[in-house]
Every structure is written in C-alpha cells, then in structure tokens.
Amino acid sequence: MAATDETGDRRVVPRWKSLRDALHTGELDGALVNKSGTLDGTQFIVKKEQAWRENTAL
C-alpha cells in the first residue's frame, strides 16, 4: 500500500530554480553533457531487429 494518498489534494509548491541560478551553478553547461559516459546500444538494436525479422507475428 502506498504511503501517500495519490487521489488527495497535496498542496505542493515546487521549488523551481531561476534561470540565473541554473546558469550560475552550471546545470545548463553543455560541457557536462559531453563528459558524461554513454552506452553503445548498436549490438542491442541489431539483436532486436534480427529477432523481429525472424518472428514478425505478435
């Protein structure tokens, strides 16, 4: 059972950052995106495509 009642009125006020604060903390810095690691999903897609070609029925 959930700890909160999702149907009730929660009266939550989001704490949005201003654009100035986001820029100041570097959250929108493109350099951080380039430094993050990525996964190569090529083999995963190839396997899924091969499986689909072998069995096209639902």
pTM for this entry: 0.36
Which residues have a Cβ under 8 Å from the Cβ of 22 and sit 6 or more positions away? 28
Tell me which residue of 38, 54, 35 sits closest to 46, measured CA to CA: 54
Which residues have a Cβ under 8 Å from the Cβ of 28 and sit 6 or more positions away? 22
| SS3 of residue 14 by DSSP | coil
Residue 22 burial (CB count, 10 A): 13
Residues 1-57: tens digit of each pLDDT:
556 666 677 778 788 889 899 888 888 877 766 666 778 899 999 999 999 999 977
Give the integer Cα–Cα distance in Å for 37 and 29.
16
Per domain, the residue ranges of the chain are 19-54
